[in-house]
Structure 1
Amino acid sequence: MTKQIIYGTSFLDVAHVERLNQAVLFQQEQETKVLYILPSKAWLTKASELQNKLTYMNFDELASFIIEKVKHEVISISEHERTLFFQQFVDEQLGQFDNIQIKGQSKGLADTYGQIKRLGMELNHVPPALEALKPLFEQYEESILKEKNIYDPENIILLAVALLKQNPLESLKLIVDGFISFNPLQLQMLEACAEVGLEIDMYIPNDQTFTIVEHMRNELRQIGFIDYYRFSEMEEFLPKMVLAHASTAEEEERAILLNIQKSDKAYDDFSIIWADEYADVTTFIERAKSYDIPLQMADKFKVSSSKLSHFIQLIFFHNQFDSKWKLAPLWEQLLAISFCNPLDYTNEKERFIEGDNDHLIEYKEMYEVIVQYRWPKKATFTDYLIQLKQLLEKLKLKEKWRKRLNSEEDLSILKQIAIEYRCYQVLEEKIDQYLEQLSERGLDSISMNLDLFQEWFQETGKQLEIFLERGQNHGVAVHTWRDIGLIKGKKIYVVGMNEGIFPRGQSLRGYVQERDLVEVASEYRIPNHESQIKTQEAFFQQLLLLADEIVFSYIKGMDEEYPRLPSPLLEGLSMVHIEWSFEERMNNKEVSSESDQLEMIAYHSGQGFKIDNQWMNAEFIHYQQNLKYLEAFEEDIEEKHQLKMQKNHVAITSLEAYARCPFKYVMERELEIREPNKELKQISPIDIGDLIHEIIESIYTELKLVGKEFSSVDEEKKEEIRRKLDEKFEELWKDVEERNQEITSLEIRLVKKLWKKRLMNWWFAERKHFWDNQRLPKMKIKQLEVPISESFTLPSGKKLHLKGKVDRLDEDESGFVIYDYKTGQASIDRQEVQSGLKLQLPLYAYMIQKQLTKRGESSKIGYGASYISLRDPHKRASNGIWHSQFVGSQSPFHVSSRTKNQESDWANDPYLAQYQIPKKLEELWQGTFSQYPVKPLECSNFCPYKAVCRVTEEQKERGKNNEF
């Protein structure tokens, strides 16, 4: 009589209590052990709760059971551990397989091998595209499986199949329940069990007609099952269906929780399925807590998310970091894992960045332990584990945490420390477990590199979990597709039903491609993209029979022109469409918490609605007042402080800085707040500017060219200047390198080459405009770095003493020109003068003219004033302001007639009055000690005070348009 029978049953009756009780009765009466095989962990848990006198397992556990029963000693390893063995195996086999590249490919090769085995392929029948790997895989099986007796998950099942055929088990019955398809390895296991005569009851769903189930029935009949399956279609039932278009994942989760909270139904009446079974539901669990909604789901914490895990991963590679900036994250994590208080954290980090070694002793000791530790690039797995354990012991983290637990009063910090402490314990237990297993199995010599060990650590951290809170007995149930029959709720939320998420095609590992499966010969059906989709479609059809109401939600996104799409399975269904967005939530008439209420009031207030005072608590009124103040962008200084801050001697550059951005001015010049320390990635423009100015001044001074008429300098002298430039640059560049040791040598070489070229180009331009210029025979450099000051009477009658420094003053018997060297781009226009952004050239020229008049040289006039940019030293037209007499084709200064910056009045009172410069001077000066509005005329994206500035894009635009 056939002992392997297929029965039809409702998917809602998987592991039904009557069936479980009958199995117990059979086990007792027939003295035959019954193994109950179920498809998911949730089903295994549920079945054991209903009836605890049976043994429940999945197919992997069935394989281990068979191997144990026939007393065959094997060493089982996980998929990730298989990668470690492949690493060692590949290293040993380098040079043996010249036709393929295997170096550095251990993970890809391990995944490919595992995928081939999962698909039920024999190595003799691998796809043609992978034929070259066959000798490597055959050698792996010979070395690892046969010689070392080490088996990975797929080979454990294949070994169990082979052992069962050789050693048939007696007094054993299988009940397989709840599956809608089998993979090739599971089919091989079932075929072996049938072949040796084990009794098998197979229960498969008969509520609906599914293609995938029909395939499964055919496969089971082919391996000897008799089909007692009877189709028993459920009464036609169509639930109310809703499709929610969510703008974001947050709005999707909030809407679900708010709807559950407002409902009259009990929490047990709700169930949730995530369309993506691998979705991270951490934020949902936290949000459910904030809404006081109980979940029938344990709150777990992965070790990989702990501060400890992040800390260890940084430790692995600290000896590859070649600067304090690359070590800074390690120091930050050290402070974090020590639960350093915020003030100490700030001070300790500042000391570290500044190279100050005066750290608190507990942090200093830990850091020294870490930086002195050296990880070998390659070692045995055992050695790496021992080193990790020893390092953690030297850091004395558990001892520090125990002390802190006894002294800390802040409950939130206590909870964090407790979590880290438990993660440490779990990790320590895992390390000890591995060391014991490796020793027992004689695997102490397994070698790997540091990258692979770090990958093992990451993977292990993802698998290790600690329980923060157990699931509630009564509450909202959370399910996966595989345990869909467990759903009891009257209303189901299916979350994340986006196109590409559900249904999702088959994901193949390693180098196996979907197209390879077409060419494979196998006695078992190879799972492919189509069968994967069919399985998910079956789950979806079962879902429609479960509840009175089903709400499907997907994330539409914020882009109306290119919205994301819902699952194609939802097409054609009659559904009510709703929107879940921030705006929709803000327009609800009810709120669930004070924070939600405050958020709603803030939203409507921002939209311009008037809020009744009864809803305005003190916190919100204070917030609104602050917002109103911030939106004015004004920062006025109280009168009692203004007199202290007033300065009557002011640098012109200081007034320009105020004009550019009053807020930056006060941060930089009045409060003297330093720029944040940051990693040097390029040489400072200030260093370059100082270098160039020093070279130019020293060359002209040392070669005694100051005071010499341009025409009097011969060619030999000019050539000497060029040589001297090169020598001086090399000499002074050493100081630049010394100050910028953090920057890579390549970057320094490139910058050096660039500025050396620019300096030579500058000299060529100097020759053209000055030393070789036949139109300026009597002109000479009068002075370099000329300090200058002058008193001004402002429109209010107050006196202001202005000071500055002129880079270069040129003179002849009739007039003068001033020049200002710039290492960046340089230009000037009338609007910049009027706004106060560019005051140096006109005021310096005016002050020089005043001094000449005082010396009795009033006949000398100002020819002009110009920036000389080292980036474009030949340029003159838009770089300066010129007297109109000296512009045009005959201009001795090579200034084109097209220049807009030509003035008939220059360096005199009429010029200042024309552009209202005295008025602007008083306005800027008054501002430097009375108000610092956030109204920049120029706003750099690289401003060091950006993090604390409240400037808006609108304010920036207004500044550019000179609207202030």
Structure 2
Amino acid sequence: MPVILYKNHPLVTDLQSEIHKRIANNHNDTFIYIVPTRRKVRELQRELLKIPANRTAPAFELFTLETFATELYSLFSSPKLLLSMPTQAVLFGEAIRNKEKELGYFLTHSSRKTIPAGTLKKMINVINSLKEAGIYPVDLYSELNNADNDEKQKLKDILLIYEEYESLIKEKFIDIGGIYKELNETISKPESEKLFRERFSKVTSIFIDGFDEFSDPEITMMDAISRFNNLGIVISFDYYLNNDELFGHLRENYEKFKKIGFRIKSDQDIITTGTDNHFRYFIARNLFRHDFVESEFTTDKISVFKAGNREEEVEYIAKIIKRLVNDNPSRDLSKICVAMYSPQLYTKLFHEIFPRYGIPSNITDRFQLDQSLAIVSIISLLKVWQNNFRRRDLMRALTNPYFAFENSSLKIDTGNLYSVSAALKINVGREFWKKRINNRLNQIQIEIESITDDFELQQREKEIISIKKALDDISSIEKLLQRFGPDMTPVQFKKHLSELLSELNIQQNIMKSLTFQTEDYAILTEQTEKDTRAYQKFLNVLDEIIGLLKFQNKDAIPQPLKFYINKLKEAVAQTRYNIRQKYGYGVYVTSLEETRGLDFEIMFVAGLVDGEFPSVYQPEIFLSKSRQYKKELYHLTENRYLFYQCITNFTEKLFLSYPNKDGELEAVPSSFVDSFLNIIKCNDWRKEIPSELNSAVYCEDELLQILGHNARIGIKQEIADKFDERIFQIIKYIYFAIRVEASRLTSGEMPEYRGLIFDTVSNHSREKLIKLKDKIFSISQLEKYAACPFQYFADNILRLTVIEELEEGMTPLERGSILHEVLYEFYTERRSENLPHIFECDQNQFDEALHKLIEITKRKLEPLSQTDIFHFLEKELILGTEKRTGIIPEFLKNERNRKLDVVPSYYEVAFGPRVGNRQISDKLLDVREAIQVGNVKIRGKVDRVDTGENYFTTIDYKTGKDVPSLSDIIEGLSLQLPVYLYVIEKVLIKFEKALKPAAGAYYLLGARVEEKVPIGNKELNGKAFLKNKQTLLENDEALRDVINKSIQYVNDYVDAIAAGKFEITTEEKMEKSCRHCKFDKVCRKETILENN
């Protein structure tokens, strides 16, 4: 209930009635009406315009305290440029740079050179709040002198920045805090009243309504204004004298008003009538009091409920609203409000759920400009030039719908740029892009001369087209951005940027989305408006920055692009924007704070979770401890007061709600709920929600869920004729999908939905499948099928393209490729020069071999990017350092210890077509045709073959950690080693070298260099491979059995592929086969696991 404060004015107990009466009597120019928020001003403007009947509506003097102070300042003082948040942020950034050498807390010289955006934002807010509260640097010096040693440097930094900022704005600029300061210095001058009367000649009353707390400068201003002749002030101040648990933080304000001569009429002195006033009065007297003695207040207008989670909470709110509208179809939805203390936790849910339930809404989001994709894209495009074509900036700038390059003369292929940069390891450097691409083009031309395989030739030609396109695109972007190369004056920068945005058609591209036909058109419209508002706000910020520089007399000074980007980033980080409010449209969804001074018929207060509301006190560390203590003292009562305001601004119904869980965590109900229910007896739905909210169907989704659930358990309902065709088709599809899932579970009808597609595809597709029997397969393809037939189907039959996440530095595959090339060149050179085997070398020979191997490695690494830390780390891993042995030295050391009956003999042994670069394949053991393995043709390349007099060992280099085991081979999951043993035996016979297979080994080239032998003849342990304790096969016969079994697997897999069998892998194989699968997003393995 309000306390009426009045000075030099008759008592007015009902401000609304008084204002309505004056307007009705055509005395609208006799009062000024001040309310808390701009939204309230806009609502009042519309409301008051309805009062004058049959005559022209008058202009009303409606203000917030801030706009009223600004209006008075413009009357009494010389004009200065009023700073907005963006321009203020730019000046704070300048103040920090001016004092960076003196800042010992925020900028330690050993760590950072700039203050993080979040810290800067908090600092600006703190200094603004201090200044608006009338606390100036001179006041803070006394606090600094009395501060503890541990906080002195922090307060000193705040003071330095505060004072430097003040010196920057002193002559030409002013902020809101400065307006109050200068206004209160000039308002008492004799000429001020005269200037006031020139603007408000007939005003006799200032009415101030809906406020809870006033700052000292605001009270000083009101006191000064109240001294003007024939002018009185009436303040409706929501305060109750005898409940400090709720109103304690306002007592200081109350006493200050009394001290400056305001007379008081409290709610005890004002007769209240009506149930609503009675309820509000009861709440004000008793809420949160420990000495509550009155009887409970009983009402059926209030309901309290809990939901399972936040999503369910919003769904219940939607259902209640629909029920209220169903009971009263003429209800004005704009008179319904849903408010939360932390709207950011709920906004997405309301955006998603209200449209689903067909509820129009007016969600008052305020968005950070630096989070807008459109604005991030613009700044990223500028940073492309500033950061020398860094790939991250390029991708941010190009992968968005606002720069539709394909529709412009540039026709940038962003996906191709990404692929080329990944393949060529290009991270940054405009010239480096060109150099790497041109080097690769030259390399391809050399490779083409020796390629005889048609498929390989096609691949190289495609690569040429791809990287030439990337080169053209880089050149086009360079031409687009080169205007920002020279230093620019502010006007030149704005001109260049405006021209760039115009050339990229950003405005048209934002609006283009509205031409799409979609069921979510309302959401699309809102997103388009959001983008449009963000873009317009950005242009305003740009204008403000240019205007600021002009006011600072810096408009003729050329500056580099970095200067302007920094200004833009500082400004944009402190800028917020919102979409246009739709008056009289939909349910109002907002924060609790935004409901101040507003009244609604229906009020929902959601998210009443302990720790969120009341919120946990977060100390403002930029303040002194004494100020922190005062803020903490009032924190709880401020939260309580906000709760009180929100539960007393309804006329028909109030709903309080909270979720039982927040994600996986249990949510504790707010203590405010218990305090409220201690004094109010109402509808308590916490244990059981009314049945009508769960039994009835409130939206299409619920209907479809019920029909789907019933059909799944065998209750199939007839589809009513009243459904439109769209719903009818969706329901038919649900029934069909359930049949499919039932078929999958029972292995019954519809085998095609389990991956058995042969009988259901077209004749043409069946022929294609059958012809796969004649295809030449690689072992990796067949191992993929063994791991998961569906993965093989997606990758090798459908050829689905997956844009994989780009890895910084070398991938294991790329590292492996380099090591293969290095070892191939090293060993083939030694063989051609008849040099001794490594285990036969003396120390000098070994040192020469190591020197040669390192020399080759460095040469192979040279073409790679040298512009990032990852390159140097990879180089250290491969070559080593003084403190760490690298892969290459460790490998050669390992080779020195391999004194066996077999010696390295053949390297990169290729067989069949399409096995990669034939230049890197052994010319002594080269087979151009595929090898027949049973009925299947196989192609591939064996990394190394070590031979002796009677037997041989195949070796596969591995840069990863995991290698298959013997059990993987026996189960048919790993085919490489046994099949390669079979293949190499046949190849050696072809070259008249009849040797028996001894073992298949993996050479691990990683953090540890070691040999592992999953498959080998135990009789040759320590002869054909290093002696080890792994499980081995007893003899040659056992080894042959495993090889033959693997050959049978190869033939079985190809038969299954040709028969169209592409089922998802078994649950037992999922841990291994699904770990690195790139098709997990289109796989139904989770459904299988769930059903199992």
**Same fold at TM > 0.5:** yes
Q: Which residue number corresponds to residue 332 of structure 1?
A: 399
Q: Whole-Å Cα distance in 1 between the matches of residues 208 and 216 of structure 2?
A: 16
Question: Normalising by the residue count of structure 2, what TM-score does the alignment of the two structures yield?
Answer: 0.71
Matching of residue 557 in structure 1 with residue 661 in structure 2: yes
Moved more, 295-304 or 135-144: 295-304
- Pick one of 1013, 1028, 1038 that aligns with 1:879: 1013
Deviations 1:730-753 (A, max 9, x none): 335434442667865434433433
Alignment of 1:805-824 (within 5 A): 805-824=941-960
Q: Which residue number corresponds to residue 239 of structure 1?
A: 299
Alignment of 1:394-793 (within 5 A): 394-398=503-507, 428=539, 444=555, 449-450=563-564, 452-455=566-569, 457-458=571-572, 462-463=576-577, 465=578, 467=580, 470-472=582-584, 480-481=592-593, 483=595, 486-489=598-601, 491-504=602-615, 511-513=622-624, 515-517=626-628, 528-545=631-648, 546-547=650-651, 549-558=653-662, 562-574=665-677, 578=685, 588-603=694-709, 608=713, 610-614=715-719, 617-625=731-739, 627=741, 633-638=754-759, 639-647=766-774, 650-670=777-797, 676=803, 679-704=806-831, 714-716=840-842, 719-720=844-845, 722-738=847-863, 744-754=870-880, 757-770=886-899, 776=901, 779-781=902-904, 783-784=906-907, 785=909, 786=925
- Pick one of 288, 302, 318 that aligns with 2:384: 318
CA 1:442–1:589: 2 relative to 1, 3 Å? same
Q: Is the 8 A contact 2:307 2:658 kept in 1?
A: yes
Q: Whole-Å Cα distance in 2 between the matches of residues 586 and 341 of structure 1?
A: 54
CA 1:511–1:572: 2 relative to 1, 3 Å? closer
Matching of residue 132 in structure 1 with residue 156 in structure 2: yes
Partner SS, residue 317 of structure 1? helix
Q: Which residue number corresponds to residue 39 of structure 1?
A: 36
Query: Which residue type is aligned with residue 863 of structure 2?
Result: E
Q: Which residue number corresponds to residue 1065 of structure 2?
A: 935
Deviations 1:621-678 (A, max 9, x none): 3444555677764243454433211127655454333223333434444555666465
Q: Which residue number corresponds to residue 921 of structure 2?
A: none
Q: Which residue number corresponds to residue 113 of structure 1?
A: 127
Q: Which residue number corresponds to residue 391 of structure 1?
A: 500
CA 1:162–1:635: 2 relative to 1, 3 Å? farther
Moved more, 423-432 or 921-930: 423-432
Matching of residue 193 in structure 1 with residue 222 in structure 2: no
Partner SS, residue 1030 of structure 2? coil
Partner SS, residue 512 of structure 1? coil
Q: Is the 8 A contact 1:662 1:935 kept in 2?
A: yes
Partner SS, residue 204 of structure 1? strand
1:511 deviates by 1.8
Moved more, 248-257 or 673-682: 673-682
CA 1:654–1:833: 2 relative to 1, 3 Å? same
1:221 deviates by 0.8
Q: Whole-Å Cα distance in 1 between the matches of residues 377 and 254 of structure 2?
A: 52
CA 1:357–1:246: 2 relative to 1, 3 Å? farther
Q: Is the 8 A contact 1:210 1:538 kept in 2?
A: no
Q: Is the 8 A contact 1:863 1:882 kept in 2?
A: yes
Partner SS, residue 216 of structure 1? helix
Matching of residue 225 in structure 1 with residue 222 in structure 2: no
Q: Whole-Å Cα distance in 2 between the matches of residues 671 and 471 of structure 1?
A: 52
Is there any run of 5+ residues in structure 1 with no aligned partner, and where? 519-526, 794-798, 959-964
Question: Normalising by the residue count of structure 1, what TM-score does the alignment of the two structures yield?
Answer: 0.79
Partner SS, residue 837 of structure 1? coil
Partner SS, residue 551 of structure 1? strand
CA 1:503–1:135: 2 relative to 1, 3 Å? closer
Q: Is the 8 A contact 2:998 2:1017 kept in 1?
A: yes
Matching of residue 895 in structure 1 with residue 1027 in structure 2: yes
Q: Is the 8 A contact 1:78 1:153 kept in 2?
A: no
Partner SS, residue 81 of structure 1? helix
CA 1:90–1:328: 2 relative to 1, 3 Å? closer
- Pick one of 314, 328, 337 that aligns with 1:272: 337
Q: Whole-Å Cα distance in 1 between the matches of residues 840 and 491 of structure 2?
A: 78
Moved more, 921-930 or 386-395: 386-395
Deviations 1:733-776 (A, max 9, x none): 43444266786543443343359822222222222222xx5xx4
Alignment of 1:57-136 (within 5 A): 57-92=63-98, 104=114, 110-126=124-140, 127-128=143-144, 129=147, 132-133=156-157, 136=160
Partner SS, residue 187 of structure 2? helix
Partner SS, residue 494 of structure 1? strand
- Pick one of 245, 258, 273 that aligns with 2:319: 258
CA 1:939–1:3: 2 relative to 1, 3 Å? closer
Q: Which residue number corresponds to residue 210 of structure 2?
A: 178
Q: Whole-Å Cα distance in 2 between the matches of residues 843 and 134 of structure 1?
A: 73
Q: Is the 8 A contact 2:379 2:565 kept in 1?
A: no
1:833 deviates by 1.9
Query: Which residue type is aligned with residue 176 of structure 2?
Result: P
1:108 deviates by 6.0
Identity of aligned residues (%): 16
Q: Whole-Å Cα distance in 2 between the matches of residues 853 and 443 of structure 1?
A: 84
Query: Which residue type is aligned with residue 1058 of structure 2?
Result: F
Deviations 1:916-953 (A, max 9, x none): 44543432231232222221743254434444444449
Deviations 1:552-607 (A, max 9, x none): 123443556x31223221124436555799x999993333333442244345556x
Q: Whole-Å Cα distance in 2 between the matches of residues 457 and 857 of structure 1?
A: 76
What is the RMSD computed on CA atoms of the aligned residues? 5.1
Partner SS, residue 1077 of structure 2? coil
CA 1:419–1:704: 2 relative to 1, 3 Å? closer
Q: Which residue number corresponds to residue 156 of structure 1?
A: 179
Q: Whole-Å Cα distance in 2 between the matches of residues 299 and 134 of structure 1?
A: 31
Q: Is the 8 A contact 1:633 1:935 kept in 2?
A: no
CA 1:274–1:513: 2 relative to 1, 3 Å? farther
Moved more, 302-311 or 267-276: 302-311
Q: Whole-Å Cα distance in 1 between the matches of residues 591 and 1001 of structure 2?
A: 75
CA 1:301–1:679: 2 relative to 1, 3 Å? closer
CA 1:331–1:761: 2 relative to 1, 3 Å? same
Q: Which residue number corresponds to residue 922 of structure 2?
A: none
Query: Which residue type is aligned with residue 458 of structure 1?
Result: V
Q: Which residue number corresponds to residue 372 of structure 1?
A: 482
Q: Whole-Å Cα distance in 2 between the matches of residues 676 and 99 of structure 1?
A: 45
Partner SS, residue 250 of structure 1? helix
CA 1:182–1:894: 2 relative to 1, 3 Å? same
Q: Is the 8 A contact 2:305 2:656 kept in 1?
A: yes
Query: Which residue type is aligned with residue 661 of structure 2?
Result: G
Partner SS, residue 1016 of structure 2? strand
Q: Whole-Å Cα distance in 2 between the matches of residues 287 and 661 of structure 1?
A: 38
Query: Which residue type is aligned with residue 1057 of structure 2?
Result: T
Q: Is the 8 A contact 1:586 1:603 kept in 2?
A: no
Is there any run of 5+ residues in structure 2 with no aligned partner, and where? 52-57, 198-203, 283-296, 422-465, 721-727, 746-752, 760-765, 910-924
Deviations 1:438-462 (A, max 9, x none): 7589785899944542235525762
Partner SS, residue 500 of structure 1? coil
Query: Which residue type is aligned with residue 253 of structure 1?
Result: V
- Pick one of 185, 203, 206 that aligns with 2:236: 203
Partner SS, residue 879 of structure 1? strand
Q: Whole-Å Cα distance in 2 between the matches of residues 739 and 637 of structure 1?
A: 47
CA 1:544–1:8: 2 relative to 1, 3 Å? farther
